[in-house]
Amino acid sequence: MAEPLATGASAAKFIAGLRPGYTTKRHNRIVEREYEDRYRWVHDQIQREAKDLNAMEEELSQQNLTFSGHRGKREIEIRRAYAQQWRDRKSEGARKIEDARDAETPLHAAWRRIVGRSWPEDEHADEIAHLTRGWVDVLARYGPGE
């Protein structure tokens, strides 16, 4: 009894796969949304990191520890935490994009060539690379942490 349902589901999946226009449009939308979300996320996190660093500075200045080794340690902890979040967010987004690309078949690739619907480019890639360079440097210098 379960076998005809499984066969029906497989047939439906196969037929849906024959709609390359719909699938490529949907995959482009997934990729574009990921790029937009990544851009917005980076800007939000940079603002949060700045607030956290300012709060740390105020706290340490009230304790007269502004120029202590404790300040450097706390700053590295804060920066490392945001760097790790960036690394994880970037990996998660890259996997989404990779999954969308892997889901396409040679039929979809042919459709993309015929219609001229290429994969979307990340128009914010240069800005994101510039904004996240500090986080990348923190991870390279101090590692991902404990």
Res 17 pLDDT > 70:
no
Looking at the domain assignment, is residue 16 inside a domain? Answer: no
Looking at the domain assignment, is residue 66 inside a domain? Answer: yes
Looking at the domain assignment, is residue 74 inside a domain? Answer: yes
Looking at the domain assignment, is residue 20 inside a domain? Answer: no
Q: How far is CA 38 from CA 7, 17, 25, 45, 56, in A?
A: 39, 28, 20, 10, 26
Alpha carbon of residue 22 to chain centroid: 24
Predicted local confidence at residue 77, as pLDDT: 93
Segment 12-32 mean pLDDT: 82
Predicted local confidence at residue 145, as pLDDT: 67
Res 53 pLDDT > 90:
yes
Is the C-alpha dihedral spanning 100, 33, 10, 18 positive or negative? Answer: negative
Share of the chain above pLDDT 90, in %: 68
Res 96 pLDDT > 60:
yes
Given pLDDT bands bounded at 50, 70 and 90, which one contains residue 64?
Answer: confident
Q: 49 CB contacts (<8 Å, ≥6 apart)? A: 78, 79, 82
Looking at the domain assignment, is residue 36 inside a domain? Answer: no
- Rounded CA separation 50/79 (Å): 10
Show the domain range for 60: 41-142
Number of domains making up the chain: 1
Looking at the domain assignment, is residue 10 inside a domain? Answer: no
- Rounded CA separation 52/27 (Å): 37
Res 2 pLDDT > 70:
no
Segment 39-62 mean pLDDT: 94
Alpha carbon of residue 7 to chain centroid: 36
Looking at the domain assignment, is residue 12 inside a domain? Answer: no
Segment 115-137 mean pLDDT: 95
Looking at the domain assignment, is residue 21 inside a domain? Answer: no
- Rounded CA separation 34/93 (Å): 6
Given pLDDT bands bounded at 50, 70 and 90, which one contains residue 42?
Answer: very high
